[in-house]
Structure 1
Amino acid sequence: MADLLFYIALFLIWVMLLYHMFLMEGGYLHFRSFEKPIPEWARNMEELPTVSVFIPAHNEELVIEQTLRAMSRLYYPKDKLEIIVINDNSSDDTGLIASRFAEKYPFIRVLETVEPNKGKGKSSALNSALADSSSEIVIVYDADNTPERMAVWYLVMGLQNDPKAAATVGKFRVINAEETWLTRFINIETICFQWMAQGGRWKWFRVATIPGTNFAIRRSILERLGGWDVKALAEDTELTIRVYNLGYHIRFFPKAITWEQEPETLSVWWKQRTRWARGNQYVVLKFLRQFLTLKRKSIIFDLFYFFFTYFLFFFGVILSNALFIINLFYDIGLSIGNISLILWGLAFLLFLGEVMVTLSIEKTEMNWKNFIYVIAMYFTYSQMWIVLVVRSLYLEIKRLITGQEVKWYKTERFAKKPK
Structure 2
Amino acid sequence: MGLTSMDFLFLYALISIWIMLLYHIFLAFSGYRYHEEVYRDPGAVLSAIKEYPFVTILVPAHNEEKVIGRTVKAVMNMDYPQDKFELIVINDCSSDRTGEILQELQEDYNNLKVITVLPPEGGRGKAAALNRGLREAKGEYIAVYDADNTPERMALRYLVAAIVQEPQLASVVGKFRTRNKDRNILTRFINIETLGFQWISQAGRWKLFNISTIPGTNYIIRKSILDRLGGWNEKAITEDTELSIRVYEMGYREDTEFSMELYGLGYKIKFFPLAVTWEQEPETWKVWLKQRTRWVRGNIYVIGEYLFKLLSIKRKIIALDILYFFSIYFLFLSSVLISDIIFISEILGISNLTLQGPFFVLWVLAYILFVIEMAIAVNLEKGEGNLKNILLIALMYFTYCQMWIFLTLRSFYLSFKDRLMGIKTVKWYKTERF
Whether these two folds match at TM > 0.5 is yes
The structure 2 residue matched to 1:227, chosen from 231, 241, 254, is 231
Q: Structure 2 CA distance, aligned partners of 1:201 and 1:110?
A: 37
State the 4+ residue runs in structure 1 displaced beyond 3 angstroms: 35-41, 114-117, 335-338
Cα deviations by residue, 1:13-42 (Å, 9 ceiling, x for unpaired): 111110000100110000000245755533
Contact 2:6 2:353 in 1 (8 A): yes
Q: Which amino acid aligns with 1:362?
A: E
Q: Which amino acid aligns with 1:201?
A: R
Q: Shift of residue 172 of structure 1? A: 0.4
| Equivalence map 1:314-325=2 (5 Å) | 314-325=333-344
Is 1:94 equivalent to 2:98 in the alignment? yes
| Equivalence map 1:17-416=2 (5 Å) | 17-36=21-40, 39-114=43-118, 117-246=121-250, 247-335=266-354, 337-405=356-424, 406-414=426-434
Q: Shift of residue 254 of structure 1? A: 0.5
Q: Which amino acid aligns with 2:314?
A: K
Q: Structure 1 CA distance, aligned partners of 2:321 and 2:41?
A: 27
Q: Structure 2 CA distance, aligned partners of 1:201 and 1:9?
A: 25
TM-score, scaled relative to structure 2: 0.93
Q: Which moved more, 1:37-46 or 1:308-317?
A: 37-46
Q: Which moved more, 1:318-327 or 1:188-197?
A: 318-327
Partner SS state of residue 332, structure 1: coil
Q: Shift of residue 99 of structure 1? A: 1.6
Q: Structure 1 CA distance, aligned partners of 2:55 and 2:41?
A: 23
Q: Structure 2 CA distance, aligned partners of 1:84 and 1:164?
A: 27
Contact 1:74 1:148 in 2 (8 A): yes
Q: Shift of residue 146 of structure 1? A: 0.2
Sequence identity (%): 51
Cα deviations by residue, 1:283-309 (Å, 9 ceiling, x for unpaired): 011011322332222210110111111
Alignment gaps of 5+ in structure 2:
251-265
Q: Shift of residue 108 of structure 1? A: 1.1
Q: Shift of residue 44 of structure 1? A: 4.0
Cα deviations by residue, 1:350-374 (Å, 9 ceiling, x for unpaired): 1011111211111211111112211
- Alignment match, 2:253: none
- Alignment match, 1:417: none
Cα deviations by residue, 1:218-251 (Å, 9 ceiling, x for unpaired): 0000011111111111111000000001120101
Contact 1:44 1:160 in 2 (8 A): no
Q: Which amino acid aligns with 2:137?
A: S
**What is the CA RMSD across the aligned residues, in angstroms?**
1.4
Partner SS state of residue 138, structure 1: strand
Q: Structure 1 CA distance, aligned partners of 2:392 and 2:376?
A: 14
Q: Which moved more, 1:282-291 or 1:173-182?
A: 282-291
Q: Which amino acid aligns with 1:281?
A: I
Q: Which amino acid aligns with 1:379?
A: F
Q: Structure 2 CA distance, aligned partners of 1:336 and 1:148?
A: 55
Q: Structure 2 CA distance, aligned partners of 1:7 and 1:111?
A: 56
Q: Which amino acid aligns with 2:103?
A: S
Q: Shift of residue 107 of structure 1? A: 1.1
Q: Which moved more, 1:381-390 or 1:44-53?
A: 44-53
The structure 2 residue matched to 1:15, chosen from 19, 30, 37, is 19
Q: Shift of residue 407 of structure 1? A: 4.0
Q: Structure 2 CA distance, aligned partners of 1:205 and 1:89?
A: 41
Partner SS state of residue 54, structure 1: strand
Q: Shift of residue 328 of structure 1? A: 2.7
Q: Structure 2 CA distance, aligned partners of 1:261 and 1:127?
A: 24
TM-score, scaled relative to structure 1: 0.96
Contact 1:117 1:128 in 2 (8 A): no
Q: Shift of residue 338 of structure 1? A: 4.7
